[in-house]
Structure 1
């Protein structure tokens, strides 16, 4: 058993004549506060000296800021934002990696009722056209643009700056203001804080923009606060064990920017900004941080956990430091392979002497994101759990799938300046259309949780009329290749058989053709029918293109965009003999 304490939910299930299922965890979670900034004030009054935020100073020692220090700076900076003319209608646009200045600016804006929008660094630093960033700026009309490094973001800023837009930076250049020099009267900020209401916009978070311009998801103060009530209701251990987080995931995404960041603040924890990443070039910085800080709550993608597991096996001291205070591990972003799952759980038992929950969940930018969570230890990865208290899950038959829809106080009211798209994403009963299909772990007992069963829009039929569940097949294929490919696009709509366009893992070349062919043959041999048998595969040597929509800023692949942009690859897939080829 894990030592951390979680909820013990009870559910009400209704089954309608048309096959629709409604499942809810009745009641509402206990309220922590009316707004997220109210928790900053609470902890500044209660534990003013406790470490809240920390980041390495120029790659050296940790620079730690207490709750009292952050609250004081937030009040001064918040007043300065008001003096600059910012308001609900003139937000702050943040072009920055995770940093202390980024965090304080976002909190200061929330504190005084000014929305902020942190956008993916890929829109500024990877894109050559800045089309997505331009679309964001035209939609929001920001009164202030903030960049962590003025010179590094100068080209992106020039692409979106207007004569009435002010610019500030941590390392300013040219006529940019120094963020450290922006100060104002704290009393003015406190008055704005006292006037906050739940329906005011706290921030905008942008969807990935894989199909056209990114959409601005409205995050109100009440939406964010209610979502954190659900988190605290689920993770009961937070009451007695404030979270310590060592986190690299970007705040431009809801998982870290909302759930993790707000979870730390709402529960009086400490957030250590990890400037590493789960890549061969940057994992060393993560390892350095974990040698010094023992997290209590840890998030990573499966590839990151695989790198950590390899290091734990070589470095007992690192493993002991990591598991010393750990309450739970969470993964998302991709499916986790069984050998990584088993290795992490066994490592926890060996090092900590007890089980540590390893789990995943299901949510979206539009859901806050906390929605479904699995807190029962599983034998295998993939179970995304059950709905949080206050959420109603609606499962609607769609072909041979169950389409998931959600209703709760923590779901967005819609997309900024886009009534048409908003209407398209809610059904006649006010449920948000998640776009995902779910498969019950036990059809006779829905309290056992659910498995992700693919994106509804991705599924298609073969020429025989057989439905193909793309999401599940794609995950199994990538998992089967055991690190040789990093993602796959399933092809075969209106064709006789399936094929796959795959992006190879780093270092994989045509010299690996025999290994790839062996894996493809064994995958095909294990198939149970035409809906999951893949015997054709083209390895794409050119990486996915962000500007063409083939990849999102999160690194996930847009299936339809890849097929649309690479007709030669699709032609080769079906013109060449069955097997593996490179393009």
Structure 2
């Protein structure tokens, strides 16, 4: 297939140590790196002043801010922050989702060295999740809080934790205690803005990003200007087309996550691109808004999670005009969060060939909040999903084998965090004796004899467990296998079996799919009973068991959960992922029932 996008070929050196440890490095030199994000903003305000930088839906059209207007507003807001005495020790907590004012405030804070702390909007909008919000507020002790709408966020704004903190809202309503965002735009002529901006160095903290809290209380990841600026150089080194023509992006991924808020947002700013905020999401009831937005403007890049790409592929199949628009200028299809199903990958690949006779670069990368995030990337074209590639320029990956094929991954480079906010012990624990960040992730080589073929993600070391027989279970990969086996009946699932004789699975069903299939469900104290559904699950598990060998991958029992995973109870992280430990702890009674052969809600094979 013809590949349309420019790319930088893999070139990797391998160093094998006597203890079996492997060091991988890119042979390409790291390109020039900006001092701070303000440098990007000044550059494009001068070179392309009227080009749209950021936009959001407004009525039937878009509210658009050019680079020149953005710089002017950022400087005005920044001077207002300085006028309030704000600096590196007075963070701003941002409680709302993506928006133009959110973006302007973030850039203004970065312009003068004030850290921002974006948190998931669900923490404010869902009553039961206020504990997560309170934890973040108590941890970082902000001087200012921002919301888009004071009425919509009224319950969260009434929290005692926000007492004494200035609240700023784009739509303050009638709340006299809330500062209108427009007041920040008035600026403060009494401050020396340029002097303060000049003091923002690569080591200045730009953001404190909260971890998902899937294994412990959420930690605040210190994200410096260097981390963000280096990462954009690394990405543009790997994908030269970013520098060839200004990119354009229509994107929904939340800015409280490093993927949407640092990777994607900064990619537009660093390369003079245009960011159109998609106020839709890949969920029922909101995806239609995404399709509407794409009917108005499409991007040169497309980022999404696998479920989003699956929904988008379906929409493109049914709309020829949208299909033509979508692929017309497309340079990149980039998935993250999980492996893209191969049928979805091939669907986009074939559709691109049908529409324009060539395929954009289809790829993914790997990284964490602590790594800014991109650390490895599949830079070359490839014909399948699941490969995360090789270390980006300036990164050294330390691979520690834990069996013949699998390696624990640790990384070092200028895009790695200096640590966690006010948590020196956890910071110390996060790095090994050589200064490598301990990721907890595992990888395998695509081809052990050719490291340039890259690596594949192989789960989290912490998710693995042993059966009573001593057999290791690679839970992360097994979960992906089971999601495929039980699709589309299962929306998610948890692999069980630690210190037990058999592997089981706790299934979160897709209730809409079960209803469409005509399954009549009976709730039995947290688990569904249904003879037809149990028969279908038994058939699939038995068929799979005949095709595999070994106790490390055989699923012997299943239970279908009637209660969906709960965000307020911590079973779902801010990223929308399952917190497996929390599910197993909170539903211990159902876990015990899963291993009771006499329980009528359990499927056994």
Q: TM-score, normalised by structure 2?
A: 0.93
SS of equivalent to 2:103: helix
* 1:262 aligned to which of 266, 269, 277: 266
Asked if 1:544 corresponds to 2:546, the answer is no
Asked if 1:554 corresponds to 2:575, the answer is yes
Asked if 1:535 corresponds to 2:540, the answer is no
* 1:567 aligned to which of 588, 592, 596: 588
Asked if 1:475 corresponds to 2:489, the answer is no
SS of equivalent to 2:551: coil
**Higher mean displacement: 44-53 or 307-316:** 307-316
Alpha-carbon offset, residue 172 of structure 1: 1.0
Preserved CA contact (<8 Å) 2:215 2:581: no
Preserved CA contact (<8 Å) 1:488 1:500: yes
CA deviation map 1:454-473 (0-9, x unaligned): 10001011111111001111
**Residues 16 and 32 of structure 1: CA distance in aligned 2, closer, same or farther (over 3 Å):** closer
**1:50 alignment counterpart:** 51
Alpha-carbon distance in structure 2 between the residues aligned to 1:237 and 1:531: 44
CA deviation map 1:462-509 (0-9, x unaligned): 111111001111011112223221211110112111100111124144
**1:23 alignment counterpart:** 24
Preserved CA contact (<8 Å) 1:28 1:389: yes
SS of equivalent to 2:512: coil
* 1:462 aligned to which of 463, 467, 475: 467
**2:181 alignment counterpart:** 179
Q: How does 1:396-415 map to 2 (within 5 A)?
A: 396-398=400-402, 401-415=406-420
Alpha-carbon offset, residue 127 of structure 1: 4.8
**2:381 alignment counterpart:** 377
Alpha-carbon distance in structure 1 between the residues aligned to 2:161 and 2:351: 51
Asked if 1:498 corresponds to 2:503, the answer is yes
* 1:419 aligned to which of 424, 436, 461: 424
**Residues 204 and 403 of structure 1: CA distance in aligned 2, closer, same or farther (over 3 Å):** same
Alpha-carbon distance in structure 2 between the residues aligned to 1:370 and 1:469: 25
**1:146 alignment counterpart:** 146
**2:326 alignment counterpart:** 322
Alpha-carbon offset, residue 335 of structure 1: 2.5
**Residues 578 and 386 of structure 1: CA distance in aligned 2, closer, same or farther (over 3 Å):** farther
SS of equivalent to 2:384: coil
Alpha-carbon offset, residue 577 of structure 1: 5.7
**2:307 alignment counterpart:** 303
Alpha-carbon distance in structure 2 between the residues aligned to 1:483 and 1:197: 50
**1:442 alignment counterpart:** 447
Alpha-carbon offset, residue 251 of structure 1: 0.2
**Higher mean displacement: 556-565 or 72-81:** 556-565
Preserved CA contact (<8 Å) 1:405 1:431: yes
**Residues 145 and 160 of structure 1: CA distance in aligned 2, closer, same or farther (over 3 Å):** farther
**Residues 580 and 301 of structure 1: CA distance in aligned 2, closer, same or farther (over 3 Å):** farther
Q: How does 1:230-241 map to 2 (within 5 A)?
A: 230-241=234-245
SS of equivalent to 2:381: coil
SS of equivalent to 1:130: helix
**Higher mean displacement: 291-300 or 568-577:** 568-577
Alpha-carbon distance in structure 2 between the residues aligned to 1:464 and 1:579: 27
SS of equivalent to 1:480: helix
**2:371 alignment counterpart:** 367
Alpha-carbon distance in structure 2 between the residues aligned to 1:563 and 1:544: 11
Q: Could you list the runs of 5+ residues in structure 1 that have no partner in the other structure?
A: none
**1:11 alignment counterpart:** 12
Note the aligned Cα RMSD (angstroms): 1.7
Alpha-carbon distance in structure 2 between the residues aligned to 1:136 and 1:77: 24
Runs of 4+, deviation exceeding 6 Å? none
Alpha-carbon distance in structure 2 between the residues aligned to 1:323 and 1:284: 19
Preserved CA contact (<8 Å) 1:297 1:326: yes
Alpha-carbon distance in structure 1 between the residues aligned to 2:600 and 2:371: 42
**Higher mean displacement: 294-303 or 406-415:** 294-303
**Higher mean displacement: 74-83 or 18-27:** 18-27
Preserved CA contact (<8 Å) 2:596 2:602: no
Preserved CA contact (<8 Å) 1:403 1:436: yes
**1:157 alignment counterpart:** 157
CA deviation map 1:252-285 (0-9, x unaligned): 0000100100010000000000000001211111
Alpha-carbon distance in structure 2 between the residues aligned to 1:464 and 1:520: 21
Preserved CA contact (<8 Å) 2:112 2:197: yes
Asked if 1:390 corresponds to 2:394, the answer is yes
Preserved CA contact (<8 Å) 1:7 1:236: yes
Preserved CA contact (<8 Å) 1:127 1:546: no
Alpha-carbon distance in structure 1 between the residues aligned to 2:436 and 2:424: 16
Alpha-carbon distance in structure 2 between the residues aligned to 1:528 and 1:323: 43
CA deviation map 1:412-460 (0-9, x unaligned): 0000000111111100000001110001101111111111111000101
Alpha-carbon distance in structure 1 between the residues aligned to 2:210 and 2:46: 33
**Residues 345 and 506 of structure 1: CA distance in aligned 2, closer, same or farther (over 3 Å):** farther
Alpha-carbon distance in structure 1 between the residues aligned to 2:423 and 2:382: 41
**Residues 333 and 13 of structure 1: CA distance in aligned 2, closer, same or farther (over 3 Å):** same
**1:168 alignment counterpart:** 168
Preserved CA contact (<8 Å) 1:116 1:203: yes
Alpha-carbon distance in structure 2 between the residues aligned to 1:359 and 1:127: 38
Preserved CA contact (<8 Å) 1:517 1:580: no
Asked if 1:312 corresponds to 2:313, the answer is no
Alpha-carbon offset, residue 188 of structure 1: 3.1
Asked if 1:352 corresponds to 2:356, the answer is yes
**2:529 alignment counterpart:** none
Preserved CA contact (<8 Å) 2:4 2:361: no
**Higher mean displacement: 496-505 or 372-381:** 372-381
Q: TM-score, normalised by structure 1?
A: 0.96
Q: Could you list the runs of 5+ residues in structure 2 that have no partner in the other structure?
A: 521-531
Asked if 1:106 corresponds to 2:106, the answer is yes
Alpha-carbon offset, residue 286 of structure 1: 0.6
**Residues 118 and 463 of structure 1: CA distance in aligned 2, closer, same or farther (over 3 Å):** same
Alpha-carbon offset, residue 159 of structure 1: 1.6
Preserved CA contact (<8 Å) 1:223 1:409: yes
Alpha-carbon offset, residue 162 of structure 1: 4.3
**Residues 79 and 295 of structure 1: CA distance in aligned 2, closer, same or farther (over 3 Å):** same
For these two proteins, the number of residue pairs brought into alignment is 581
**1:248 alignment counterpart:** 252
SS of equivalent to 2:46: helix
